[in-house]
């Protein structure tokens, strides 16, 4: 069977280990496991969402409204855009797939930061595109400018705040870069963690409407997976010009989010208070990680997200440390696969973080 | 912006109208609406599944186990294959997308029945492939043989039982056709409604293990959307050789079904009794549709699924009839878009079917 040649270069995404697997493979009791690996909101989602879903469990047999009318109405009000400016994806992740598939042909170039969301690469490579990368951990827009002029890529991803590093760009700097970009180049601004960044510092906020009005070649993407605490429900969105959205809609499969996901996302939009509470708590707990890092003499990246990237010393190896933590029931993300001697830790609840500090110290032999 | 040329020919899928839309657009009260348009199981899903999901609503913030370990274990036991022979999709629908994207290049040919699941075409066209079609409503394997020899397509879809016609092929005839197919041609046997067909007549049953052992160029696809009553949860699967599955896995996005979908599908496998009850009831009610058609002098296709295709007389127009039914709160599928003067009606509960007969008579002016 002759599959496409482009498949040869594709590595599949390696997801954070689920709790079930640690139970299975490491024999740790479920109650002793804490998962700080996938940037889930440790407070879960809004209680209103849980209540709503409990009420409509009987609807699982019904396909969702494939126009996603109610959800688009909510997002349209929230962001001041038209419903025709919105496409819904199974996570913002799926909107990257739509973009890649609608736009990229073999040999096309895609510009990304060296440390960035792994799916940009995977979706691009599925279309046979070539990745152009900066050489920095945090986003460096001067490098973006230089590489853009040198390679004239068809697509650029700016992930702000950035995953898995945690840094965030100022809006003014992003706009300065965008001014240098040709209107025929598409630029995706991935704001999966934007709610966190803008809470911490207003100057980080990039608003979808302002972005696409100012730069019609841009697409803004957002998600219900992080601040809204619905990672398991796979719902995100992209906001762009009607022309872009119409092209992306051609790649969208019908019913691409579930009936319960649709209801959950709609209900989540009704409880912004929960989101603010969760973000506020996240940054309070983040402070404890920063203090912990300082006390134990290792570096970290100043984070605008719900996770912190701890840069380990040369005496430690991120893969060994991650494995040792895993054996004690603490799941974190080893960034070794990004050629970084670092681990990414999701900010958990107070109790989870207490446990992380305790077990991490044990692993460090302190 | 230069999107791919292949986008020009793609029409997006037109889903069955959801109840919400009929409320919105036609002003019919929700309690007066019956939806018999999308082949959902009118009995919903197993009560055990509903109970399970109610218990784990708090897990919505957690990403699912991306290896889908438990679900693959269930399917592997059910079908006697290895977990490495299975890929999970967001509906079997998504597995067609994986197949198209992993296999098809511009100009490649795909052989399908004239009346078949619309997504085969859409996914193929997204890759720039060319559709070769029979000219019959029901599957005619002699035509498949002739067209196969003439065009040597790279991919063949056999939908048995067939959607949206409802006919089903005998296993022996499918195997006779498969013997004439080159091992380098991939053949997908779409068994979305297989549970219904094999209940009605054992000779219709095609089993995944036997199929892929006998014809390693085949892929079997199945779903939890129909007999298992989980259409809104978007969970299906493909079963094939490990080599095929490994290639398809390269097109699979991480977390492509939700946390609740995964749990629902696992639990659904624990209640086959519910499935048998629902199918048995479906065929009892189907008999009433057949009698109704005879009494009112119009034809129907003998159905091996949970829907029936009613062939209207020349004096009726399927689009007008569908619209008239819609205004009275009855949603069915107009097959006008397939150049058929027919409507497809999902077999509902006894009460729903009573209401359909009553309102359909009103619309016919009887």
B167 contacts B198 by C-beta, under 8 angstroms: no
A287 interfaces chain B, CB cutoff of 8 Å: no
Q: In terms of domains, do B153 and B258 share one?
A: yes
CA-CA distance, B304 to A123, in Å (whole number)? Answer: 39
Q: Nearest C-alpha of chain A: how many angstroms from B149? A: 18
Taken in order B150, B153, B159, B160, is the CA torsion positive or negative?
Answer: positive
B152 contacts B110 by C-beta, under 8 angstroms: no
- B323: which residues sit within 8 A by CB, 6+ positions away? none
Q: Do B60 and A66 touch (CB under 8 A)?
A: no
Q: Give residue B163's pLDDT.
A: 95
Tell me the CA distances in angstroms from B180 to B148, B174, B207, one per residue in order: 9, 10, 20
Residue B205: burial class (beta carbons within 10 Å; 0-12, 13-18, 19+):
middle
Q: Do A60 and B50 touch (CB under 8 A)?
A: yes
B145 interfaces chain A, CB cutoff of 8 Å: no
- Give the residue from chain B lying closest to A36, CA to CA: B62
Q: Which of B271, B302, B327 is the last residue of a domain?
A: B271
Q: Do B232 and A41 touch (CB under 8 A)?
A: no
Q: In terms of domains, do B165 and B150 share one?
A: yes
- Out of A2, A184, A232, the one facing B60 most closely (by C-beta) is A232
Q: Do A233 and B259 touch (CB under 8 A)?
A: yes
> How far does Cα A235 stand from its chain's mean position?
12
Q: In terms of domains, do B38 and B53 share one?
A: no
For chain A, how big is the Rg over CA atoms in Å?
Answer: 20
Q: Do B1 and A217 touch (CB under 8 A)?
A: yes
Q: In terms of domains, do A120 and A223 share one?
A: yes
Which helix (H) or strand (E) is A194 found in, with range?
A: helix A194-200
Chain B residue numbers touching A15 (CB-CB < 8 A): 63, 66, 254-255
Average pLDDT over residues A50-72: 97
Taken in order B221, B223, B227, B228, is the CA torsion positive or negative?
Answer: positive
Q: Give residue A25's pLDDT.
A: 84
Q: Count CA atoms closer than 13 A to B119's CA, side-chain side.
A: 21
Q: Do A250 and B12 touch (CB under 8 A)?
A: yes
- Out of A21, A44, A261, the one facing B61 most closely (by C-beta) is A44
Q: In terms of domains, do A211 and A133 share one?
A: yes
A61 interfaces chain B, CB cutoff of 8 Å: yes
- B34: which residues sit within 8 A by CB, 6+ positions away? B329, B330, B331, B348, B352, B355, B356
CA-CA distance, A307 to A289, in Å (whole number)? Answer: 10
Domains in chain B, number = 2
Q: Nearest C-alpha of chain A: how many angstroms from B44? A: 5
Q: Nearest C-alpha of chain A: how many angstroms from B101? A: 8
CB neighbourhood size of B172 (10 A)? 8
- Give the pLDDT band (50/70/90) at residue A117: very high
Q: Nearest C-alpha of chain B: how many angstroms from A254? A: 6
ipTM over 0.90: yes
Q: In terms of domains, do B318 and B238 share one?
A: no
Q: Which of B221, B251, B271 is the last residue of a domain?
A: B271
**A250-273, pLDDT tens digit by residue?**
999 999 999 999 999 999 999 999
Q: Do A126 and B101 touch (CB under 8 A)?
A: yes
A255 interfaces chain B, CB cutoff of 8 Å: yes
Q: Which of A250, A271, A292 is the last residue of a domain?
A: A271
Q: Do B44 and A53 touch (CB under 8 A)?
A: no
CATH, residue A136: 3.40.640.10
In A72-217, at which residue ranges do the beta strands (DSSP E only) sit? 86-89, 109-112, 130-133, 155-159, 186-190
Query: Look-up: residue for tokens 């989010």?
Result: A257
CB neighbourhood size of B52 (10 A)? 19
**A20-44, pLDDT tens digit by residue?**
888 888 888 888 899 999 999 999 9
A182 interfaces chain B, CB cutoff of 8 Å: no
Q: In terms of domains, do A277 and A265 share one?
A: no
Tell me the CA distances in angstroms from B106 to A98, A283, A333, B129, B218, one per residue in order: 18, 50, 39, 5, 22
- Out of A38, A44, A105, the one facing B63 most closely (by C-beta) is A38
CA-CA distance, A157 to A104, in Å (whole number)? Answer: 13
Q: Give the residue numbers spanning the domain of B287.
A: 5-45+273-364
Tell me the CA distances in angstroms from B269 to B80, B92, B230, one per residue in order: 14, 16, 12
CATH, residue A13: 3.90.1150.10
CA-CA distance, A181 to A223, in Å (whole number)? Answer: 26
Q: Is the pLDDT of residue A366 over 70?
A: no
Average pLDDT, consecutive stretches of 10 residues, N- to C-terminus, chain B (366 residues): 87 78 85 94 98 98 95 98 98 98 96 96 95 97 98 98 97 98 98 98 98 98 98 98 96 97 98 98 98 94 98 93 94 94 98 97 86
- Give the residue from chain B lying closest to A263, CA to CA: B232
Q: In terms of domains, do B25 and B53 share one?
A: no
Q: Nearest C-alpha of chain B: how many angstroms from A117? A: 12
Chain A residue numbers touching B231 (CB-CB < 8 A): 60-63
Q: Nearest C-alpha of chain B: how many angstroms from A192? A: 15
Q: Give residue B366's pLDDT.
A: 64
B23 interfaces chain A, CB cutoff of 8 Å: no
Q: In terms of domains, do B322 and B237 share one?
A: no
Q: In terms of domains, do B14 and B113 share one?
A: no
- Out of A3, A16, A64, the one facing B102 most closely (by C-beta) is A3
- Out of B70, B94, B250, the one facing A10 most closely (by C-beta) is B250
Q: Do A126 and B250 touch (CB under 8 A)?
A: yes
B261 interfaces chain A, CB cutoff of 8 Å: yes
A365 interfaces chain B, CB cutoff of 8 Å: no
Q: In terms of domains, do A39 and A65 share one?
A: no
CA-CA distance, A315 to A310, in Å (whole number)? Answer: 14
Mean pLDDT taken over chain A: 95
The residue of A63, A123, A260 whose CB has the most chain B CBs within 10 angstroms, and thus the best one to mutate to test that interface, is A63
Chain A residue numbers touching B54 (CB-CB < 8 A): 54, 57
Q: Which two tokens stand for residue A72?
A: 């688009």
Q: Nearest C-alpha of chain A: how many angstroms from B295? A: 31
CA-CA distance, B124 to B128, in Å (whole number)? Answer: 7
- Does residue A332 sit in helix, strand or coil? coil
Q: In terms of domains, do B126 and B257 share one?
A: yes
Chain B residue numbers touching A2 (CB-CB < 8 A): 103, 154, 184
Q: Do A234 and B243 touch (CB under 8 A)?
A: no
């Amino acid at each position: 069977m002759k599959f496409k040649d482009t498949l040869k270069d594709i590595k599949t995404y390696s997801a954070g280990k689920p709790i079930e697997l640690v139970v299975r493979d490491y024999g740790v009791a479920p109650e002793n496991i804490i998962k700080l690996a996938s940037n889930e909101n440790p407070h879960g989602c809004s209680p209103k969402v849980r209540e709503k879903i409990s009420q409509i469990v009987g609807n699982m047999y019904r396909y969702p409204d494939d126009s996603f009318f109610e959800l688009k109405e909510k997002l349209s009000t929230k962001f001041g855009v038209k419903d025709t400016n919105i496409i819904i994806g199974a996570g913002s992740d799926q909107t990257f797939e739509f973009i890649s598939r609608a736009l990229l042909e073999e040999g096309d170039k895609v510009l990304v930061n060296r440390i960035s969301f792994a799916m940009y690469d995977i979706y691009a490579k599925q279309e046979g595109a070539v990745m152009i990368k900066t050489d920095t951990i945090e986003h460096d827009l001067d490098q973006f400018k230089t590489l853009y002029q040198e390679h004239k890529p068809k697509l650029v991803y700016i992930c702000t705040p950035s995953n898995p590093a945690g840094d965030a760009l100022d809006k003014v700097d992003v706009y300065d870069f965008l001014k240098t970009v040709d209107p025929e180049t598409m630029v995706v601004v991935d704001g999966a963690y934007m709610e966190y960044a803008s809470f911490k510092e207003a100057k980080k906020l990039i608003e979808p409407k302002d972005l696409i009005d100012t730069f019609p070649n841009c697409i803004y993407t957002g998600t219900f997976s992080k601040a809204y605490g619905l990672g398991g429900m796979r719902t995100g969105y992209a906001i762009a010009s009607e022309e872009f959205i119409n092209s992306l809609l051609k790649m969208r499969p019908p019913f691409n989010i579930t009936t319960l996901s649709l209801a959950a996302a709609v209900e989540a939009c009704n409880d912004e208070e929960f989101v603010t509470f969760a973000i506020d708590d996240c940054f309070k707990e983040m402070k404890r990680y920063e203090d912990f890092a300082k006390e134990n003499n290792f570096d970290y990246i100043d984070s605008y997200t719900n996770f912190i990237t701890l840069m380990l010393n040369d005496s430690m190896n991120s893969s060994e440390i991650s494995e040792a933590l895993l054996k004690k029931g603490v799941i974190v993300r080893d960034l070794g696969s990004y050629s970084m001697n670092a681990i990414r830790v999701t900010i958990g609840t107070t109790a989870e973080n207490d446990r992380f500090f305790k077990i991490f110290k044990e692993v460090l032999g302190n």
